[in-house]
Amino acid sequence: MKPKYSILAAVSALVLVLDQWSKLYIDKSMTLHSSYPVIEGFFNITYLRNKGAAFGILASSSYRLPFFLLVSSIAVIVILVAVSKMRDDQTWNVASLSLIFSGALGNMIDRVRLGEVIDFLDVHWKGHHWPAFNIADSAICVGVFILAVDMLLEERREKKNPPTPDAH
């Protein structure tokens, strides 16, 4: 197996197992809307369900489920195609896309299984709460961040070492 596919498989398996296990654990051990402080005044484990996307977008829309499943499916396919076209030395790109891939898949599994996504990570500061999220959401955000940083670094590398024109 090529290194890029090993990275994709390993990262995706790890994130999917952690994401699905944590959601199942929260669902079985907590009641909906219950909350436990982890770091007082900053971080709680709070069991919520989100029918929408980030910040509850489209939560009340009648076409939300087909729309989210379609978008997730397209993202998964596009990422698989992108990884297949990457060079083996593009490990950071592959790792970041693997995080995005597994996050999209993790939330897609919830939508197929439950019609909504289980969220439970609740960050807040002085009464201001960030919308609750989960491991899949975290993987997507970290993946996008790593991809952006790697793209900026690649741009710098290309400016320092511009490709040499072919001598004919």
Provide the annotated active-site residues. Answer: 119, 137
Contact 44, 37 (CB under 8 A): yes
Q: How many CB atoms lie within 10 A of CB 86?
A: 15
Distance CA 53, CA 110 (A): 12
Non-local CB neighbours of 7 within 8 Å, separated by 6+ positions: 91, 94, 95, 98
Distance CA 44, CA 40 (A): 8
* H helix intervals, the chain: 3-29, 64-85, 91-114, 135-160
Contact 91, 7 (CB under 8 A): yes
